[in-house]
Chain A
Amino acid sequence: MNNQDTVQVTMTVNGRTRVEQVEPRLLLAHFLRDHLGLTGTHIGCDTSQCGACTVLLDGQAVKSCTVLAVQADHQAVTTVEGLGQRGGLHPVQQAFWDKHGLQCGFCTPGVMMTAVGLLQQNPTPTSEEIREGLDGVICRCTGYETIVRAVAEAAAVMAGEAGPSAAAANE
């Protein structure tokens, strides 16, 4: 840590209040990974293109490599660790598992957080809308097809349906 001009930030991360002293230039992604040890949030690029670092900031999907920790002061952050854990998976996590929405798993936390953000804004997306909604993420493994299926499945489950009967799931 460079000891010049640190500032205090207070953040609610996955429901827990964290108070840390940080350099203003510290990226939120590094704050989560290096200060809080929440390494589920990954960094895949430098230019806000890949979305691997996506977290929820006050409920909205944002790229944490392009947010300063100080900008998130007094806000709530949800990372993949806070989305759900074994025994209590979020429907998006469950759907990614069920539909093989991941291979290497590196982009996956960011993709899932983006999907959560997408479903908040559009709870019943068509498969085309899912593909558009995932424009802010890059996955090199899956070819996206199973990710699209997983998001459709999650949408259906979250809408309270038993199976993937929503518009996109069977397309």
Chain B
Amino acid sequence: MADDPRPFDSWTCPAPLSGGGQVLLGHGSGGKLSADLVRDLFLPAFHNPALARMDDQAILAINGLRLAFTTDSFVVKPLFFPGGDIGSLAVHGTVNDLAMGGAQPLFLSAAFIIEEGLPMETLERIVASLRRAAADAGVQVVTGDTKVVEKGSGDGIFINTSGIGVVPDGVALSADQARPGDRILLSGAIGDHGIAILAQREGLEFESTVASDSAALHTLVAGMLGASKEIRCLRDPTRGGVSSALNEIAGQSGVGVELDERAIPVREEVRGACELLGLDPLYVANEGKLLAIVAPEAAESVLSAMRRHPLGAQAAIVGSVSAAHPRTVTMRTVVGPTRIVDMLAGDQLPRIC
């Protein structure tokens, strides 16, 4: 696509970030620090219309075909966790980023950055899992890369996957499409992935039966799009949780989002862990859930379509889009009053007080 000359007033400089001059873990948390990094460094550096949409995938029109293109890196500890591993996660994460654009995922790349000394058997298990997940999702891994770094320079293994899919005609999903009156649909209980990982963290361990919800969501999305074309936007609430995803939509669409706390499904195990560690499930990561912003008249039919799919059996309408307080997410709490659901600066930390 042609490079349009940009108007003078949209010129921006990649200004250095304020505050310390060091990258912190929080910059990768999916919260405010991540958003700042993207806004202040990456967006100005690479400015173009496809990137400016700020969705989970870029939509590229080439010879009349609309391609969805995305990339994601996976750095999970432990490598194997209840409900999945870094291999299956690397497929699901990228397939889902494509699916959130309404695309049919087709091809993946897989790049492995391996720390010297990783047992070969571990690598084989991860690759087998990745292969299985790709086959289950109906995508092929068509290109790849391998690098090995010195012991101590990596955390066992990091995987990057990129993906390409095709967006069907008539589908145009984007985070700037939410309109007042739209309903917010959530495909199931939140926080499973984050809590399953946290349960394994040294120093915080607890016994639980929570498994990661890691799953490929494209067939769920296809079912939803089959039920109605009045879906404005889809997001999978990964890092930063439901809160970050909805704050991004509210910001990009210039609307308010109003949640109903009682309508949000949370598993008893996830609630228990959150109570114990002082965490809010709205900020905990998911890897197999989606949020849909749907026109009010289509909400019920999309909801039924979701519930017919195994990954959407617990789907619920959890709120609506409003013209009041634009760019802000609020929630009616279980006891009645309303509060703000802010984006966190960095990772949510267990608290003692």
Q: Do A and B bind each other?
A: no
Identify the B interface with A (CB < 8 A): none
